[in-house]
A and B are shown apart, each in its own frame.
Chain A
């Protein structure tokens, strides 16, 4: 029986898969980046469906916002064009692609079977207060470590992309 929630899930899941497939099929990087944004927004919807409001908001703000903007910025900065068509051998096209599809379906099938007993979990909305209490009490040390990581990454990116002062 299809409840409204399952219908929403199916629509969002179709969006996610369509976006991912489009990322593979598009030849221009900017089209791939836009497909990836569709995937991320749909995933935020799936997080909302599971009651993870804060994670959904962070997904939109940080992933679909900040990270993808940097991606698109770099694509435009480097003026990346369409990728050349790869000379895929006939073996790869007629044996590799079907085998890959079979493998994908098989993995999905067995994961679905092995976890079928879990059943639906209650969709209580997780309060952001509980999440932040956990983050800033129990996980405060890893949290501070990530801020150091961000700082190092920032410095690393600066040093890497700096133009050498050549004479």
Chain B
């Protein structure tokens, strides 16, 4: 039997690494991947508490999170393609027209 807290600690570490990747990475595609990483950390928490509390709702929410992540990936990647078409760059540092 694996204690519940092990899974929660792993989930916290995974979420933290996702935040770090979100801040540090400069390629817009990798920034997008780090969002998926954070969503996965949240899913792990959902499944863990679903088992710990003996309720199935957590797993239902995981399915919803996966659906929303798929929708987000579709729209986000379309936006990335648009950015690349209009500005010829994938570096988040160069997408700064709101700065001027």
* Chain A residues within CB distance 8 Å of chain B: 3, 5-6, 9, 13, 16-17, 20-21, 23-24, 29, 32-33, 36, 39-40, 43, 46-47, 49-52, 54-55, 58-59, 62-63, 66-67, 70-71, 74-75, 77-78, 80, 83-84, 86, 100, 103-104, 107-108, 111-113, 115-116, 118-123, 126, 130-131, 134-135, 139, 142, 146, 149-150, 152-154, 156-158, 160-161
Contact = CB atoms under 8 A, between A and B. Distances in A.
Contacts of A134: 56-57, 60
A20 B29 CA distance: 15
Instruction: Give the residue among A50, A84, A135 with the most B Cβ atoms within 10 A.
Output: A50
Nearest to A153: B71
Given A107-B12, A150-B71, A24 B78 contact: no
A5 B68 contact: no
Interface string B17-56: 1101100111101101110110010011001101110101
Given A70-B77, A84-B91, A118-B4, A23 B33 contact: yes
Nearest to B27: A83
A160 B44 contact: no
Given A58-B66, A161-B78, 9 more contacts: A47-B44, A50-B51, A54-B59, A59-B43, A59-B66, A121-B51, A149-B68, A152-B71, A157-B77
B95 interface: no
A51 B20 contact: no
Contacts of B56: 126, 130-131, 134
Interface in B65-82: 66-75, 77-82
A109 to B, nearest CB: 8
What secondary structure prevails in chain B residues at the interface with A?
A: helix
B99 to A, nearest CB: 17
A24 B17 contact: yes
Given A70-B77, A126-B59, A157-B78, A17 B29 contact: no
A118 B52 CA distance: 8
Contacts of B79: 160
A52 B52 CA distance: 12
Contact of B33 (A3, A6, A33, A149): A33
A152 B50 CA distance: 30
Nearest to B46: A55
Contacts of A146: 64, 67-68
